[in-house]
Structure 1
């Protein structure tokens, strides 16, 4: 944490073992361009990430740790040799361009569809119906939005399997040349489903009290740290808000408990996805103060950030860096544009998910 009021988005910062030249991070962004079958990262994805190598740190799109972790068509994985080789071509190219890149380890849990799992229902903390949709491949080959089915509750065997999947994915990320990994514990996906009492209705050692609800997420954190080192591991959380059918506006206390437990593990960073980007309430400074007390390590803020908001929160010591999402879709040189005070390109939402180079690698950079 820094409390230097002169700190700016464009000053260096260290997140664990990774030294960043600036504090403008590229947030993880689902783009659905991996190659089927096998969800393999490809050369088009390489070009996309290389274009954005000016970010202090690129956090990759959500990258599923196993076939069970998949919830959207053409999202990449990080568990097969082919996927590792595909990511290696990307990380090598990003490093050659002077960048740094972390792999976001992702398990969607119930935000999925039976067609991804051989007809079996997706897994979650509890086997309760809920309302949400995901994207599968339609008969025309294009993304089709469909309702998520009622999931099946993870068994003890399934829980052990999931922990091992995250450990194995971390080993794969190291082999693929990433600089770090970020565990996806946010946005209504599997770890968030266990953390929240809204989605976790279990009556065993993984449900009920906040200590029990955090048991699986913390076991996953420990497995990932054990497969690499704490200074190469970050985590993304979104304890308050409405994400993927999980509405938990009262999740602040759970988030603070989880942050205190994470602080004991001396992780490289805590990545806070704030609720206002998805229509939720803006976080107040009282929560930010409590979060800083709970987690004294580096905090990355994300969600509806402007440079003015970033400057205020950096100066106050509430955050140490900012992850920009949609702005990085349309502006491959976002960090450079922000520093120069240049105008930004507008993103085209119709090309966010699926497709080819249009709306992906064809946004103009500054001359």
Structure 2
């Protein structure tokens, strides 16, 4: 049996995890047309929480109608959505595991046609500035009042998540979505207090995170950053000064964790022509504030190397995405050295379908161990 640090406890806020393997936030498009989860979502998350003491982070979840622009992703702004998520959190807690909800607003990444179909012909794609993602609608810059409204919407969504039974929330400040659009200078050309300098560009993300902390508590708040991701037209020429300042301010809030995406990942996929740009500047700056969760296309061997060698003196969690899709008992398989089930990329995003969602098998060894415990 492996003695890897991956299977040592890790404290996230007030939660005591029993292992350091974390489910990544993964968009799967399995909600209905009103952004409400189907009942089978509870089974999907419960399967991946089947090893007690595991932390799951949900797919990105819309904080409000104006944050929309993608069909069949879930929301957390109304009672029906909260109720559907409560089934999920109950199912995960029944397995003895923990779950955070990821808070999401698309900004310029919204598809204009989808937004107008849902909100009406006057709906506009909004962002920090009027700089579009290539091939998509030119966004309208958010006004000062709209920025403050968004900050409040993040806080309310966090409260809704706690009402739905979540153990905490993750502020999605990565991958070229709304907060990241403010943070980086290739998408933020503002000249007011929300742009124009390192400090001003970080302001929106900091104010959102402060509002979420005020709403639900620092021990229930994490944040995700991706300094090097080129997904959706991102990555400034030199991200280090910007993200050093941003993370330094976030550190003062004593969050439950910092979640960072390595440079070899773009969005939910491997980057094309990846560069090895280390995240050590963030990991070292964060220090012992709270754990750092690392996402980076990990496999069992590279995850063990990260936990046992590269970051052996750090409080590190390793975030798995695609292999957690195809291996609901991933934690058990890695611990026992059981080969992983390959994933089927064609089934990652089938709207409303259980196929490729709840249909991947548990290992026969896991099933046998479960029977032995009964």
TM-score of the alignment, normalized to the shorter chain, above 0.5: yes
Bigger mean CA deviation after superposition, 293-302 or 20-29: 293-302
Aligned 8 A contact 2:10 2:315 in 1:
no
Q: Would the aligned equivalents of 2:133 and 2:232 in 1 still touch at CA under 8 Å?
A: no
Tell me how far apart the structure 2 counterparts of residues 249 and 48 of structure 1 sit (CA, whole Å). Answer: 39
Among residues 263, 268, 289, which one is paired with 2:256 in the alignment? 268
Q: 1:291 aligns with which of 282, 294, 298?
A: 282
CA distance in 2, matches of 1:308, 1:50: 25
1:140 corresponds to which residue? Answer: none
SS in 1 for 2:137: coil
Give 2:300's match in structure 1, choosing from 298, 307, 327: 307
Q: 1:91 aligns with which of 84, 89, 114?
A: 89
Which sections of structure 2, spanning at least 5 residues, go unmatched?
A: 365-374
Kept after mapping to 1: 8 A contact 2:227/2:235: no
Pick from 317, 321, 325 the counterpart of residue 321 of structure 1: 317
Q: Is the helix fraction higher in 1 or 2?
A: 2
The 1-side partners of 2:207 and 2:222 are apart by 14
Q: Is the 8 A contact 2:198 2:241 kept in 1?
A: no
Q: Matched residues in 1 for 2:187 and 2:248: separation?
A: 22
Is the 1:57–1:100 Cα contact (8 Å) retained in structure 2?
yes
1:312 Cα deviation after fit: 3.1
1:18 alignment counterpart: 15
User: For the aligned residues, what is the CA RMSD?
Assistant: 1.5
> 5+ residue gaps in structure 1?
1-5, 132-146
1:191-244 Cα distance to aligned partner (Å, 9 max, x none): 100000110000000001110001111110010000011011000000112012
166-175 vs 237-246, which deviates more?
237-246
Determine the C-alpha separation between the residues in 1 that align with 2:10 and 2:154. Answer: 27
Shift of 1:332: 0.7
| Aligned residues of 1:275 and 1:282 also touching (Cα < 8 A) | yes
Alignment TM-score, normalising by the size of structure 1: 0.90
Q: Please, which moves more after superposition, 49-58 or 88-97?
A: 49-58
Match of 2:127 in 1: 124
Match of 1:203 in 2: 191
Q: Distance in 1 between matches of 2:151 and 2:277?
A: 31
Task: Note if contact 1:65-1:169 (Cα within 8 Å) is conserved in structure 2.
Answer: yes
Question: Match of 1:357, SS?
Answer: coil
SS in 2 for 1:335: helix
Q: CA separation in 1, counterparts of 2:5 and 2:152?
A: 39
How far is the alpha carbon of 1:30 from its aligned partner? 0.2
Conservation of the 8 A alpha-carbon contact between 1:272 and 1:302: yes
**1:361 counterpart residue number:** 358
Contact kept in structure 1, 2:184 and 2:235, CA below 8 Å = no
Contact 2:174-2:225 at 8 Å conserved across structures: yes
Q: CA deviation at 1:11?
A: 1.0
Structure 1 residues 249 and 46: CA distance shift in structure 2, 3 A: farther
